[in-house]
Amino acid sequence: MLRLYIIPILLLFCQPAPLAAQRDSVPHAPLRPHVVPLVGSTMFATGALVTLRPELHNKEISLYNRLEVASFDKIRVDDYLQFLPLAVPFVLNLAGLESEHNFGQMALLTATSTLIGITTVEMCKHIFQTQRPNNGSLTSFPSGHTCSAMLGAEILRREYGRRYPWVTWVGYGVASVVALLRMYNDRHWPSDVLAGTGVALLAVSASYALWD
């Protein structure tokens, strides 16, 4: 886990000046800055409410029991697929697609978003101590895999969504697959992936507000 923190921290010091002062002359996409944090906060609060209220969390357990999720054949690609949306913005940039920020700026924004997201997820896991559906460790809430994938999807939307709308659909499509697989693989409750998405949206919003 320590290695996950080192890279974002190092990248934070690679570009000390605000991005607004160093940005290329690329028109900025309308990001509706107040909408995304509101959606993220609502998703996280809803997931936390379901997790903390026994009567609501028991409904998740009953749903899993009815669907017999534990008996499904597991598909482990989510362990790797979670990183794809985070990598795609840089691949598209190197391929020549025009983004809202240059490569270095995107690296800084991604590193900051990841650092905020990972820190928040780990703190919540320690505080909530929710048991996983497979009766595993008490680290179910929120979903870190979902957070990672949704971070990349939201960054993709912000960097390429205005010029290439299809990129937004692809990014969030892949992230949604990761979220579904976390439940399918009996690793997370629906409230976990909902909260993980909320954390991702808030983390990216905070990163862009800080540097943009």
Residue 125, pLDDT score: 97
Residue found by looking up tokens 């913005």 in the block: 89
Residue 11, pLDDT score: 39
Q: How far apart are CA 162 and CA 27, in angstroms?
A: 10
Q: Which long-range contacts (CB under 8 A, 24 or more apart) does 162-165 make?
A: 162/29, 162/30, 162/100, 163/29, 163/97, 163/98, 164/97
- pLDDT tens digits, 19-62: 544 444 444 444 565 799 999 999 999 999 999 999 999 999 99
Q: What is the CATH number of domain 33-211?
A: 1.20.144
Q: How far apart are CA 116 and CA 8, in angstroms?
A: 10
CB-count exposure of residue 46 (10 Å: 0-12, 13-18, 19+): middle
Residue found by looking up tokens 């054949």 in the block: 73
> 141 near 125, Cβ under 8 Å?
yes
Residue 124, pLDDT score: 97
Sign of CA pseudo-dihedral 132, 138, 46, 180 = negative
pTM of the full structure: 0.85
Check residues 7 and 165 and name the one with the higher pLDDT.
165
Q: How far apart are CA 71 and CA 97, in angstroms?
A: 43
Q: Greatest CA span in the chain, whole angstroms?
A: 55
Residue 34, pLDDT score: 73
Strand intervals (E) in 56-204: none
Q: How far apart are CA 91 and CA 94, in angstroms?
A: 5
Residue 32, pLDDT score: 61
Residue 206, pLDDT score: 96
CA 184 to chain centre: 18
Lowest mean pLDDT among 5-14, 109-118, 142-151, 173-182: 5-14
Check residues 175 and 70 and name the one with the higher pLDDT.
175
The mean pLDDT value of the chain amounts to: 87
Residue 66, pLDDT score: 92
- pLDDT tens digits, 104-161: 999 999 999 999 999 999 999 999 999 999 987 999 999 999 999 999 999 999 999 9
> 204 near 158, Cβ under 8 Å?
yes
Residue found by looking up tokens 């609502």 in the block: 42
Among 107, 132, 113, 124, which Cα is nearest to 19's?
107
Query: Which amino acid appears at position 76 of this protein?
Result: R
Is pLDDT above 80 for 83? yes
Is pLDDT above 50 for 2? no
> 141 near 191, Cβ under 8 Å?
yes
Is pLDDT above 90 for 17? no
